[in-house]
Amino acid sequence: MSEYNQDKLIQDVVKAFSGTPDARLRELMTALVKHVHAFAREVDLRPEEWQAGLKFLTATGQISTDTRPEFVLLSDTLGLSMMVVALQQARASGTPQGALPPTEATVEGPFYWAGAPDLELGADIAEGVPGEPALYMGRVTDLDGKPLAGALLDIWSGDGDGLYDVQLSDEPTMKARGRFRTDNEGRYWFWSIRPTFYPVPFDGPVGEMMRACGRNINRPGHIHMQVSAPGHVKLTTHIFVAGSPYIDEDAVFGKRDSLVVDFEAHPPGRAVDGREMETPYHSASFDFRLVPEPA
pLDDT tens digit string along 214-250?
A: 999 999 999 999 999 999 999 999 999 999 999 999 9
How confident is the prediction for the chain on average, in pLDDT?
94
| CB-CB contact of 30 with 17 (8 Å) | yes
pTM above 0.85, yes or no: yes
Q: What is the pLDDT of residue 46?
A: 97
Q: What is the pLDDT of residue 98?
A: 64
Q: What is the pLDDT of residue 3?
A: 60
Higher pLDDT, 171 or 80: 80
Fold entry, domain 70-289: Protocatechuate 3,4-Dioxygenase, subunit A (2.60.130)
Residue 64 has pLDDT above 90, yes or no: yes
| CB-CB contact of 158 with 196 (8 Å) | yes
